Amino acid sequence: MAVVKVHHNNFFTMNTRLETVFWGRSKADCEVVLAKIKRTVLDLENILSSFIPHSETYILNKAGKKTNIHVSDYLFNVIKRCSEFKQKTLGYFDITFNRAFDTSPQENNSDRVSNNKFKDCNIIFNEKNKTLCFRNEKTTVDFGGIGKGLALEDVEKILNFYEIENAFISFGESTIITRGRHPHGEYWPFGISNLFKPKEIVYSFRCNNHSISTSATIQNVENLKELRHHIVDPKSGMLITTPKMISVKSESPVIAEVLSTALLAADPKTQHKIVSNFENNEIIEVIFNQDNSPVITKLN
């Protein structure tokens, strides 16, 4: 069997590590592509980050309370697109609902609701002037549930431009895209790990030109002494304590991220409605029993 030269690189961005794996191209080609990816993703982070003080999103969050704020076409269109996703997911994907606003153990679910943090967070769009205005002064936007998908969407364009046929790009191993195939198979074989037993594969996907995104109600618990819940139902404001995860295989990394986020909080009936609004995806829900054994349900 011919030796396959694999080119790996990575860099830190968007709170995690972006890893690139290419094969079938020269090292020089791969470095050119990596440089373009890095520049593009870091530029995007400088727009979408809620934490970088000079980012457009940071400035918008500071200034957009009941005031019309002019934003770039890119940010305007992204927020508009997110608003459409909010409708298609029946409100379960909502960039104005900060899932992470407080998941401290000191605050229980009733406190969270009574603290009035869960409010109507609509945004007023002015298409003509490309301005935005938050109806509620507590509103902010947070791209934590879609930013990596948006970045990978741009990465796909770069891979297409440079005619990269075989590639694997991972954003912290929770959102990935693939191109082509594994060097020794007809597809890229991915296994979703059991959150409680990471070496155990609970489900596998076959990918060519695809994306996979996984979200879970608890963090990877291999090294944690206790479960850490961090997902709040955007409809009720309640912390979701059922240990479960959603994995979505899609042709679009944005759709994969939106669905894995939205379906995590939705009840089964609503999940069905949401899934029916999106086509051509492979979606699984994994709920863990008390003995950490997985119960896998296909949602489409």
Partner 1 sequence: MLNKQSRREFLKISSTAAIAATVYPWVEIFGNNDSSKKPSDKVRLGFIGVGVRGATLLLNVKELSKETNVEIAAVCDDYPPNYDRAIELAENSKVKAFVNYHKLLEMKDLDGVIIATPLHEHTRIAVEAMEAGFHVFCEKAMARTLDDIKKMYDTHVSTGMILQIGHQRMFDPKYIKAIEMIKNGEIGKIGQIRAYWHRNNDWKRPLPKGKPELEHKINWRLYKKYSAGLITELASHQIQVANWILNNAPISVMGTGSIVYWKDGREVHDNVALIFSYDDGTQFVWDSMTSNRKYGCEEQIMGDKATMEIGSNKIFLENPPPAPGIRQMIHEMELGLFEIIPIGGATWIPETPVKYEGEYISDKYELNETLLQLEAFVNYIRKGKAPEQLTIEGYNASIWSILAEEAVDKGLKLTMPGKYIL
Q: Which residues bind partner 1 (CB under 8 A)?
A: 1, 3-6, 8-12, 14-17, 19, 21, 23, 49-52, 99-100, 103, 142, 144, 168, 170, 172-174, 176, 182-185, 188-193, 195, 198-199, 201, 204, 212, 214-216, 219-220, 222, 230, 245, 247
CB closer to partner 1, 105 vs 185: 185
Least distance CB 66 / partner 1 (angstroms): 25
Least distance CB 295 / partner 1 (angstroms): 16
CB atoms near residue 294 (< 10 Å): 21
CB closer to partner 1, 135 vs 230: 230
Least distance CB 70 / partner 1 (angstroms): 25
Q: Could you give the CA distance from residue 262 to residue 267 in angstroms, rounded to a whole number?
A: 10
Least distance CB 286 / partner 1 (angstroms): 9
Least distance CB 212 / partner 1 (angstroms): 7
Taken as a whole, the chain contains a residue count of 300
CB closer to partner 1, 14 vs 71: 14
CB closer to partner 1, 252 vs 261: 261
CB closer to partner 1, 127 vs 204: 204
Least distance CB 69 / partner 1 (angstroms): 22
CB closer to partner 1, 12 vs 225: 12
